Structure 1
Amino acid sequence: MTKALIISGGIAGAVTAMALRKAGIASEIFEAYPTGADDVGAFLVVFANGLEALRVIDAQAPVVEHSFPAQRVALIGSDGARLGERPIAGTEQGTGLGPRTLRRATLYQVLHTEAARRGIAVRHGKRLTGAETVRTADGERVVATFADGSRAEGDLLIGADGLHSVTRTLIDPAAPKPRYTGQNTVCGYTRDADVALPSDTYTMIHGKRAFVGCTRAPDGEIWWFANIPGTELDRAHPSAAAPRVWRERLAGLLADDGTPAAAIVRATDDHRIVASNAYDLASTPTWHTDTMVVLGDAAHAAAPNAAQGASMAIEDGIVLAKCLRDHPEPRRAFVAYEQLRRERVEKVVAASAGLARRIASGTADGRPARPDGAGRGGPEADNNWLTGYRIEW
């Protein structure tokens, strides 16, 4: 039986492992961190396309169970005027379809619990340092080496190791690096803001100097995010600046607006604020060798404005597994996978970058940009090409 080595056990890694199992292919996950579930303060959105992809591997239900929905998006200008409301693309009443909002750590835990239930092994503390293809009597094999001195051998290696992927550079040492977009993303949670927000709705606030999105969870807590211009944070210690500094800076940017955004931010406790950098990776020229391939953020990364990162990674993992099922030779499977995915994901990256530019320039005020997005940029369109995508297993 073919065996795949999956590098990184994040969202993409767990989904890929479950999809490979459905395709009859064994796999093992190698996670660099001791426990995983990093970026615990951030939240994200899984849209209808991501949920439908999870349905292919019977993993949709636990994600829906641990998340909450939004049916529509409301737009507010910097003066507080309501600019309109519309359904979120892909939303179908009563189906549980997107978008679903949950913490990144929750999605990680849900998917890994499901993978473990299916007997998929995860090896923690395995930071990839190298990989080479060797020829054996049975054909080509790939041998991965890890920082702790251990090794692992398989028929192929799948790099699901994120934005700053080691696998990507092993495949192509000249591969482009992620680009910092010039924006910081700040998010937080509060129960103390005396602000009326409709349920099942993302309220998108286009302030004069900052963009804020927020939604109310079923328990009444307000979840919010903001995109603001700033210098790149130290990747090793992105939260080095005190949360109160972020709160006061963001509240100051919002103070002159006639919206509830400043009040929401000021009502958020220090320990409930987290900041990060926004990156994108427009195009990676080489996705694979004969035995190694990248997917998710390791292959393509959109600025967070379209909020499709998780859904794109989920789609990637399932399409790759399908291709490996249909093409037993890894290289042929990788070629088929790239042909099916490259155009779509690069279109998402470009669209999200355009939305980020419009928000940063203020030109999105009152004229919602496409594509559909939430979580850090806004669920503001009805593009069927994006959320209507379905995988025929």
Structure 2
Amino acid sequence: MTKVLVVGGGIAGTAAALGLCKAGYDVTVYEAHPDTAADIGAFLTLASNGMRALAQLDATDAVTAIGFPLTSLRLLDSQGIEQAHAPLGEVADPALHYRCLRRGELNAALQREAARRGVPLRHGVRLTGVTEGSDGVTAHFSDGTTAEADLLVGADGLNSTVREILTPGVRPGYSGQRIFYGYTGTAAAADPTGAITFVRGSETTFGYAVSPAGETYWFARVNTDALPADGTAHEVAWREELLPLLRKDASPAAGIAAASAGSVLVTNATELPLGAVWHTGRVLLVGDAAHAASPATGQGASMALEDAVVLAKALRDLPGLPAAFAAYEAHRRPRVEHNITVSGGISRAGHNQARPGPVVARPADPDAALLRQLAWDSPLSATPPEEP
């Protein structure tokens, strides 16, 4: 097997293409959006595990050219009093520092790297159907064209068309929070360089980080009813909804949000059910298409990058698609479903209560089993090691 179609040119799909290309496969990426600007209003953090996966894909330089590093985490209470300030992630290695980036910029950087390596990426082509045969798979697109390959990777995100074809009716559900994302041009006073600050307010969880240029990236999580279907990922009357909640506290949160420049993105926190099917004979799901979690742990993009490395290694090291798919799932499912459970628990913790959910930081020390999974030169076994 040599030819792979990746449906979805976002973070998961482009990273998967980088991994498959490195493993020697002929990869083409098909992206429904006409450009790379999807979700440009949101930002994210790549954790040390995500940066480690990028390193295995030889893509560190492409990503560290954008965004800014985060090396410590501060916790403030509702009165703005610092409760803790500790190192964040693997701070000893600059290449593994957490990184704060705009989602659209990360997506564009990965696509540029894929193009540099000769991976074709077709924009503005929407998948409409998939036909599997004994010797290949055919993708059908909205412009009437088709493409044939040995394997199709569905990396088309939360509302995946590939997942709907694979398992009709399996859709993301609301996990209890609206998420607000914004940017403020004037930096908050006295914030140390490289810190991300979490504020556990009386009715919200608020987080922010200040870029070297002095721009504050901020988010807020609010336990409330879901946005209507036509309101998700669009700006609503956020000042009337969010600012009164933030102003109940004496922390910096209300001032940062009130001074925002430009639009504020508001979206629902959603998650996929545990145990969903990830693959059939020649079709496999990765990233949010397979295991979307609420953003409370900040691990969505990092998990997708891990997927890219492990999938490439599974196809490289295991004989045939059934064995490779089974190994990929055995290594990935326990980890990503744990993240769905933890992240969803945080999101729902404060629903219909006066207090928001807890703030959870990732541990600094990497898991030994994960290190073996991600190490490119270490063969991937058919089954993961037993948990200690």
Q: TM-score, normalised by structure 1?
A: 0.89
Task: Output one character per residue of 1:13-68: Cα deviation in whole Å (capped at 9) or x when no partner.
Answer: 11111111111111110101111330101000111111111111210112112121
**Structure 2 residue identity aligned to 1:151:** T
**Secondary structure of residue in 2 paired with 1:182:** strand
Q: 2:253 aligned with 1:273, yes or no?
A: no
- Give, in whole Å, the separation in 1 of the partners of 2:354 and 2:99: 27
In the superposition, relative to structure 1, how do residues 264 and 248 fare at CA in structure 2: closer, same or farther (>3 Å)? farther
Contact 2:188/2:252 (8 A) holds in 1:
no
- Give, in whole Å, the separation in 1 of the partners of 2:67 and 2:318: 36
Aligned-residue Cα RMSD (Å) equals 2.1
- Give, in whole Å, the separation in 1 of the partners of 2:301 and 2:344: 16
Q: 2:128 aligned with 1:129, yes or no?
A: yes
The Cα shift of 1:238 comes to 3.1
The aligned runs of 1:56-71 (5 Å cut-off) are 56-71=56-71
Structure 1 window deviating more from structure 2 (164-173 vs 233-242): it is 233-242
- Residue 226 of structure 1: which of 213, 216, 220 is its match? 220
What is the match of residue 285 of structure 2? 294
- Give, in whole Å, the separation in 1 of the partners of 2:235 and 2:194: 33
Q: 2:108 aligned with 1:104, yes or no?
A: no
Count of residue pairs brought into register by the alignment = 374
- Give, in whole Å, the separation in 1 of the partners of 2:248 and 2:131: 57
The Cα shift of 1:226 comes to 0.2
Structure 1 window deviating more from structure 2 (323-332 vs 142-151): it is 323-332
Contact 2:152/2:284 (8 A) holds in 1:
yes
- Give, in whole Å, the separation in 2 of the partners of 1:238 and 1:351: 23
- Give, in whole Å, the separation in 1 of the partners of 2:283 and 2:370: 30
What is the match of residue 51 of structure 2? 51
Task: Output one character per residue of 1:291-322: Cα deviation in whole Å (capped at 9) or x when no partner.
Answer: 00001111101110101000100111111111
Contact 1:44/1:102 (8 A) holds in 2:
yes
Structure 1 window deviating more from structure 2 (232-241 vs 217-226): it is 232-241
In the superposition, relative to structure 1, how do residues 339 and 388 fare at CA in structure 2: closer, same or farther (>3 Å)? closer
Contact 1:190/1:272 (8 A) holds in 2:
no
Identity across the alignment (%): 41
What is the match of residue 240 of structure 2? 248
- Give, in whole Å, the separation in 2 of the partners of 1:386 and 1:220: 37
The aligned runs of 1:371-390 (5 Å cut-off) are 372=362, 381-382=363-364, 384-385=366-367, 389=371
- Give, in whole Å, the separation in 2 of the partners of 1:46 and 1:193: 22
The aligned runs of 1:121-200 (5 Å cut-off) are 121-135=120-134, 140-174=135-169, 176-192=170-186, 195-200=189-194
**Structure 2 residue identity aligned to 1:24:** G
Unaligned runs of at least 5 residues, structure 2: 377-388
Contact 2:234/2:267 (8 A) holds in 1:
no
Structure 1 window deviating more from structure 2 (286-295 vs 192-201): it is 192-201
Q: 2:387 aligned with 1:392, yes or no?
A: no
What is the match of residue 263 of structure 1? 255
**Structure 1 residue identity aligned to 2:256:** I
Task: Output one character per residue of 1:318-351: Cα deviation in whole Å (capped at 9) or x when no partner.
Answer: 1111111123522221111111111111111111
**Secondary structure of residue in 2 paired with 1:299:** helix
**Structure 1 residue identity aligned to 2:265:** V
- Give, in whole Å, the separation in 2 of the partners of 1:148 and 1:50: 35
- Give, in whole Å, the separation in 2 of the partners of 1:68 and 1:185: 22
Structure 1 window deviating more from structure 2 (11-20 vs 164-173): it is 164-173
**Secondary structure of residue in 2 paired with 1:85:** strand
- Give, in whole Å, the separation in 2 of the partners of 1:99 and 1:117: 25
The aligned runs of 1:270-349 (5 Å cut-off) are 271-349=262-340
Contact 2:75/2:82 (8 A) holds in 1:
yes
**Structure 2 residue identity aligned to 1:156:** L
Contact 2:90/2:364 (8 A) holds in 1:
no
- Give, in whole Å, the separation in 1 of the partners of 2:280 and 2:118: 29
The Cα shift of 1:260 comes to 1.1
- Give, in whole Å, the separation in 2 of the partners of 1:153 and 1:203: 48
- Give, in whole Å, the separation in 2 of the partners of 1:117 and 1:194: 38
Contact 1:302/1:349 (8 A) holds in 2:
yes
In the superposition, relative to structure 1, how do residues 386 and 163 fare at CA in structure 2: closer, same or farther (>3 Å)? farther
The Cα shift of 1:233 comes to 3.0
What is the match of residue 33 of structure 2? 33
What is the match of residue 386 of structure 2? none
In the superposition, relative to structure 1, how do residues 132 and 105 fare at CA in structure 2: closer, same or farther (>3 Å)? same
What is the match of residue 382 of structure 2? none
**Structure 1 residue identity aligned to 2:133:** V
**Structure 2 residue identity aligned to 1:120:** V
The aligned runs of 1:79-118 (5 Å cut-off) are 79-88=79-88, 90-93=89-92, 95-118=94-117
- Give, in whole Å, the separation in 2 of the partners of 1:20 and 1:236: 36
Task: Output one character per residue of 1:78-121: Cα deviation in whole Å (capped at 9) or x when no partner.
Answer: 12222121221x23235232210000011001000000000000
- Give, in whole Å, the separation in 2 of the partners of 1:310 and 1:156: 23
Q: TM-score, normalised by structure 2?
A: 0.90
Unaligned runs of at least 5 residues, structure 1: 373-380
- Give, in whole Å, the separation in 2 of the partners of 1:86 and 1:363: 24
